[in-house]
Amino acid sequence: NAGVTQTPKFRVLKTGQSMTLLCAQDMNHEYMYWYRQDPGMGLRLIHYSVGEGTTAKGEVPDGYNVSRLKKQNFLLGLESAAPSQTSVYFCASSYRPHRGGGDTQYFGPGTRLTVL
Partner 1 sequence: GENVEQHPSTLSVQEGDSAVIKCTYSDSASNYFPWYKQELGKGPQLIIDIRSNVGEKKDQRIAVTLNKTAKHFSLHITETQPEDSAVYFCAARVAGGTSYGKLTFGQGTILTVHP
Closer CB to partner 1, residue 1 or residue 40? 40
Give one DSSP letter per residue of 11-50, joined into a string.
EEE-TT--EEEEEEESS--SEEEEEEE-TTS-EEEEEEES
- Closest approach of partner 1 to the CB of residue 109, in Å: 5
Residue ranges that bind partner 1, judged by CB under 8 A: 4, 31, 33, 40-45, 48, 50, 56, 58-59, 90, 92, 94, 96-97, 102-105, 107-110
Cβ atoms of 73 and 24 within 8 Å: the answer is yes
Question: Rounded to the nearest whole angstrom, what is the least distance from the CB of residue 66 to partner 1 in the complex?
Answer: 14
Shortest distance (Å) from residue 57 CB to partner 1? 11
DSSP 8-class letter at 79? S
Nearer to partner 1, 17 or 106 (CB): 106
Nearer to partner 1, 31 or 74 (CB): 31
